[in-house]
Structure 1
């Protein structure tokens, strides 16, 4: 069977509240997760894993605009700037989930949202735009809440499935674990052929963040 693409899109909160350790640990965690994503892709030869990154702060912009095969993907650190325009980011992604530019024979795309705060624009309109695209409804969605200030209700609505929960990342150790788990679990789920209707649910395998202990230098 010919390779079918799996489009994996990171949506990363790069607002000023991510300044300092949070953005540094996010860059580190994704960079370290890429080799594990390659390993998962190697285990699913019928799927071609393509990565890209969208950042959102005062504006939403592509950090890696063109889909890059995972074997060729090189992480480039993101930087912080401004507010939290999640709605704009979701609109930008929605435009990529139409056919075209998405090929008809693609596998389920992956949307992985990471945020530590509260959206500062109309995020509901952006989410509606994604939900109105066939590929948006089929997408495997992951969400990571960084720290206690993250709006988990927004992330829960983004997931669009009451059986799924945002992943908690309240320390550098938990963020690294959440990024690694979301990357690999999502790729495994997306690499299976689309079956059933556009509303087919994705079941999230069990996940538990590492327990905070006295060795954790920072708790967010």
Structure 2
């Protein structure tokens, strides 16, 4: 790790985790393909944000959930080395299992006390088929889980938005609604750039929470009204 003059370590780890719904319904009307395309397209933008914020070392990975959950990209990967492998859709929607697995990664160790607040991005098009509240409770029991910036993107009309709101756990943040590929890309880009930039900025680097929800100033979300109203999903 590079050090500044005087011995101060120059960067702190910022963990960015995609939590992706890969249930069978994601195969309908190209939703899975649109998600794969959107994440792949925003990687260069994420790298640019990381380049402009040398105080943070952005580490990306992804977990997928359908019938059970597993790490799609298990190792925290520096964003400059990060590449996306397409997800495939099949099975049910075991969100709780995914949240439990993320909760394990929010413990210390493997998390460092020097880390910046993680960014957790949940993308789903349906309703949990397992006891999601148990996994969410495990996540929120971890200090880094509670401090994390938690964003949710709702694909289509069949999402249980109350579940996503509970995951977000912030009174001023609502799930971002995506009813077509254009909207999904816009939301994916917003969380990959504006939110990432805010999380890696010096204002987020205090060791104590400055508010009840997160010490990261959340930027204004992308406006649904400015996106094409054509509903595909």
TM-score of the aligned structures, taking structure 1 as reference length: 0.94
What pairs up with 1:14-25 in 2 under 5 angstroms? 14-20=22-28, 21-25=30-34
Give a deviation string over 1:103-146, Cα, whole Å, max 9, x none. Answer: 11111111000000000001111100010001001101110000
Structure 1 contact 109–135 (Cα < 8 Å) conserved: yes
Is 1:51 equivalent to 2:67 in the alignment?
Answer: no
Q: Distance in 2 between matches of 1:58 and 1:41?
A: 34
- TM superposition shift of 1:47: 0.3
Q: Distance in 2 between matches of 1:186 and 1:92?
A: 23
Seen in structure 2, the aligned counterparts of structure 1 residues 80 and 194 have a Cα distance that, compared at 3 Å, is farther
**1:186 alignment partner in structure 2:** 195
Q: Pick from 31, 37, 43 the counterpart of residue 34 of structure 1.
A: 43
Q: Distance in 2 between matches of 1:79 and 1:181?
A: 24
Q: Pick from 16, 37, 43 the counterpart of residue 8 of structure 1.
A: 16
**1:151 alignment partner in structure 2:** 160
Q: Distance in 2 between matches of 1:86 and 1:101?
A: 22
SS at match of 2:36: helix
Structure 2 contact 182–227 (Cα < 8 Å) conserved: no
Seen in structure 2, the aligned counterparts of structure 1 residues 164 and 33 have a Cα distance that, compared at 3 Å, is same
**2:218 alignment partner in structure 1:** 204
Identify unmatched segments of 5+ residues in structure 1: none
Structure with larger Rg: 2
Q: Distance in 1 between matches of 2:187 and 2:53?
A: 22
- TM superposition shift of 1:185: 2.2
Is 1:168 equivalent to 2:158 in the alignment?
Answer: no
Q: Distance in 1 between matches of 2:115 and 2:155?
A: 31
SS at match of 2:70: strand
Is 1:121 equivalent to 2:130 in the alignment?
Answer: yes
**1:219 alignment partner in structure 2:** 232
What value does the CA root-mean-square deviation take over the aligned residues? 1.4
Q: Distance in 2 between matches of 1:184 and 1:90?
A: 23
The aligned length equals 217
Identify unmatched segments of 5+ residues in structure 2: 1-8
- TM superposition shift of 1:189: 2.5
SS at match of 1:175: helix
